[in-house]
């Protein structure tokens, strides 16, 4: 018999729209017998069933909902079906990138709290839910089973459970191999013809930014013979694609020497190191000191300027400043590539910022394309949290 969590009528409205998180401010009461990580049923105050999932007695997200079928058990068969469903989707949309893609994207794959990325024969996981964490052995075994049944070569699972959100769930932060401590933590992936070093132990996120794969190729297709500036270059994803697309010259700018060194190693790996200059500098100052007409394409791929709604206004100013600077540096016919990876910087607000920046820079933007994150990071329309990356290409006219 499952414990019952009672939600307010206001909270129920969100669940009716497809939200898979039940927040603490919508909690009315829960059964005394409920333990952290238990499977619970959510009811309204008048007894309507709203869904079932794992409870967290500490987090602001009280329940992560996995099903709205009260007769469905959250057992091994359930997770095998969900993981198989997620994998079949990747086989459809990412068939040529199965060895370097996100296999499970949490809520978007109806597996809230679970992230799984693949880099060749290594799976990298992140678990942000107490209920999933106490069942992780079963989940990992199912993951391996699904892939191995399809003939995929996977040797181990590396846990990047060093994310701060785990603390809110009452979980420890750590990273390391699950059961296979002697496996390597570095590998070389192939991303659309480019070879890239990936360090699953120390790299950003789970080792690399997979969500910009298709967007980096969009840049590659327009760089032939052009001078390209890649701002906030990190390990050189956009700069490498620009050089691979036969750009005339590429400058990669980042404040981190470590990231630039990794970018140079990637350039050497692809025999294009002579086409890219790696510059350690503050991007804001670098743009201020650059000259109009110096570049034909400018890429702005900054880290998230805001990670909460409270700091959106400050982030707005930061985005506007760098975009205005870039617009003023580009001659008519030049291209601006700009994006935000913050889900709190919503599309309408980001576009408003771009319009203001263009007006102040006295330029007109001609839209080339608008995209979001790569297909292996799908967007669930009932969960706004799954939509975070906005990517724009403009020509200056």
DSSP string, 44-92: ETT--EEEEEEE-SSSSEEEEEEES-TT---SHHHHHHHHHHHHHHHHH
Active site residues: 341
**Of 343, 326, 344, whose CA–CA distance to 335 is shortest?**
326
Contact 196, 177 (CB under 8 A): no
Mean local confidence (pLDDT), 177-195: 93
Comparing C-alpha atoms, which of 198, 197, 201 is closest to residue 175? 201
Q: Do domains 76-185 and 209-396 have the same CATH topology?
A: no
For 76-185, CATH number?
3.30.750.80
Percent of the chain with pLDDT over 70: 100
Are the C-beta atoms of 139 and 85 separated by less than 8 Å?
A: no
pTM assigned to the model: 0.93
Q: Please report, for the chain, the start and end positions of each structural domain, with discontinuous segments joined by +.
A: 3-67, 76-185, 209-396
Cβ atoms 336, 365 nearer than 8 A: yes
Kindly give the interhelix angle for 257-269 and 237-244, rounded to the nearest 10 degrees. Answer: 30
Q: Which residue has the higher pLDDT, 343 or 119?
A: 119
Per CATH, domain 3-67 is 3.40.50.300: no
Q: State which CATH number among 3.40.50.300, 3.20.20.70, 1.10.8.60, 3.40.50.150 fits the domain covering 209-396.
A: 3.40.50.150
Residue 303's pLDDT is 84
pLDDT, position 209? 92
Give residue 180's pLDDT: 77
Taking only the tens place, the pLDDT of each residue in 209-263 is 999 999 999 999 999 999 999 999 999 999 999 999 999 999 999 999 999 999 9
Does residue 182 have a pLDDT over 90?
A: no
Residue 214 and residue 373 in contact, taking contact as beta carbons nearer than 8 Å: no
Contact of 108 with 380, CB cutoff 8 Å = yes
The reported pLDDT for the residue numbered 234 is 93
Report which of residues 311 and 222 the model is more confident about. Answer: 222
Q: Is 27 helix (H, G, I), strand (E, B) or coil?
A: strand
By residue count, the chain amounts to: 397
- What average pLDDT score do residues 279-299 get? 97
155: its two tokens: 């040797």
């Amino acid at each position: 018999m499952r414990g019952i969590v009672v939600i307010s009528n206001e909270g129920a409205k969100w669940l009716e729209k497809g939200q898979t998180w039940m927040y603490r401010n919508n909690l009315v009461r829960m059964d005394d017998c409920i333990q952290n990580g238990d499977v619970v049923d959510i009811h309204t105050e008048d007894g309507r069933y709203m869904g079932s999932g794992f409870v967290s007695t500490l987090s602001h997200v009280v329940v992560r909902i996995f099903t709205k079928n009260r007769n469905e058990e959250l057992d091994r068969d359930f997770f095998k079906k969900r993981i198989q469903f997620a994998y079949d989707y990747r086989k459809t949309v990412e068939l040529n990138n199965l060895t370097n893609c996100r296999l499970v994207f949490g809520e978007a794959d109806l597996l809230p709290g679970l992230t799984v990325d693949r880099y060749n024969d290594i799976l990298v996981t992140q678990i942000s839910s107490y209920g999933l964490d106490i069942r992780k052995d079963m989940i990992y075994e199912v993951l391996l089973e699904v892939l191995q049944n399809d003939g995929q070569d996977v040797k181990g699972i590396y846990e990047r459970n060093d994310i701060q959100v785990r603390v809110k769930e009452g979980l420890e932060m750590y990273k390391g191999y699950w059961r296979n401590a002697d496996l390597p933590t570095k590998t070389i992936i192939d991303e659309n013809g480019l070879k890239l070093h990936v360090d699953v132990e120390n790299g950003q996120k789970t080792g690399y930014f997979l969500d910009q794969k298709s967007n980096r190729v969009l840049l590659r297709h327009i760089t032939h013979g052009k001078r390209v500036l890649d701002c906030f270059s990190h390990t050189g994803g956009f700069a490498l694609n620009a050089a691979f697309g036969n750009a005339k010259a590429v400058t990669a700018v980042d404040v981190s020497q470590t990231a630039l060194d990794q970018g140079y190693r990637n350039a050497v790996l692809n025999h294009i190191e002579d086409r890219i200059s790696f510059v350690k500098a503050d991007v804001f100052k670098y743009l201020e000191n650059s000259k109009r007409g110096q570049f034909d394409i400018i890429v702005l791929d900054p880290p998230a300027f805001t990670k909460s709604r409270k700091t959106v206004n400050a982030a707005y100013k930061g985005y506007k400043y760098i975009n205005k600077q870039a617009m003023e540096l580009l001659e008519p016919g030049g291209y601006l590539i700009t994006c935000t990876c913050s889900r709190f910087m919503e599309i309408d607000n980001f576009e408003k910022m771009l319009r203001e920046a263009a007006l102040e820079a006295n330029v007109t933007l001609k839209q080339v394309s608008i995209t979001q994150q790569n297909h292996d990071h799908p967007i669930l329309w009932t969960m706004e949290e799954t939509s975070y990356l906005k990517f724009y290409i403009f020509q200056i006219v």
